[in-house]
Structure 1
Amino acid sequence: MILAIIIGMSLVTMVPRLIPAFIVNKIQFPDWMNRWLNAIPYAALGALIFPKIMDVIPGKPWIGLFGGAVAVIISLLGVNVIFAVLGAIGAVYLLNTYEIFHFF
């Protein structure tokens, strides 16, 4: 009985995820919808990343915002994403180190 429930729940979850994979190539979307659909990954990443940017150093949200700004600037320069991540980490580290030693 439990095995039947597990198989049933997996099918109910899997079918809605597989259907778009098979029909998306057969449908022609308008340009505005394609632009909107292309923005979804960026919106999802922003919703996942931004709250944690504010929490990098508890009680000091400006450090995380500075690191996020550095990452955005490096990304706008067209540099590889790993360098944007490393630049943000370095900026947060340097700013946090500077603040610790100067007791801000």
Structure 2
Amino acid sequence: MMLWTIIGMAFVTAVPRVVPVFLLEKLNLPEWGRKWLSAIPYAALGALILPGIVTVIEGEPWIGLAGGAAAVTTAWLRAPIMVTVLVAIVVVFLLNGF
């Protein structure tokens, strides 16, 4: 029974990831459709990151927002990802009062 459960979970996890690859490859989408679909990963990333940013220090969401703003600014300047992460950590650390 456990083996069938694992196989079933693997199937329902894989199908939504694999099927769109084959379907979207065959579709001839208009330019606005392609732009809309290309924005989905950024929207999902924002939805995953923003709650963590505003709750990094309990009761002081501005500290997390400042760290996030520092990370966005550093990334905008095309710094390497480790530099971006370290800048955000240092900003939150300093604003939290060590």
**TM-score under structure 2 length normalisation:** 0.82
Residue 34 in 1 paired to residue 31 in 2? no
> One-letter code of the match for 1:72?
V
Going from structure 1 to structure 2, the CA distance change for 1:46 and 1:12 (only over 3 Å counts) comes to: closer
Superposed structure 1 runs of 4+ greater than 6 Å apart: none
CA–CA distance in 2 between the matches of 1:78 and 1:50? 21
Which residue number corresponds to residue 24 of structure 1?
24
Which deviates more from structure 2 when the two are superposed, residues 86-95 or residues 4-13? 4-13
CA–CA distance in 2 between the matches of 1:67 and 1:31? 35
> Max radius of gyration: which structure?
1
CA RMSD of aligned residues (A): 2.0
Identical-pair percentage: 54
Which deviates more from structure 2 when the two are superposed, residues 3-12 or residues 79-88? 3-12
Aligned length: 98
Shift of 1:15: 2.9
CA–CA distance in 1 between the matches of 2:42 and 2:79? 17
Going from structure 1 to structure 2, the CA distance change for 1:73 and 1:24 (only over 3 Å counts) comes to: same
Matches within 5 A, 1:52-71: 52-71=52-71
SS in 1 for 2:66: helix
Gaps of 5+ in 2: none
CA–CA distance in 1 between the matches of 2:81 and 2:20? 29
Which residue number corresponds to residue 90 of structure 2?
90
Gaps of 5+ in 1: none
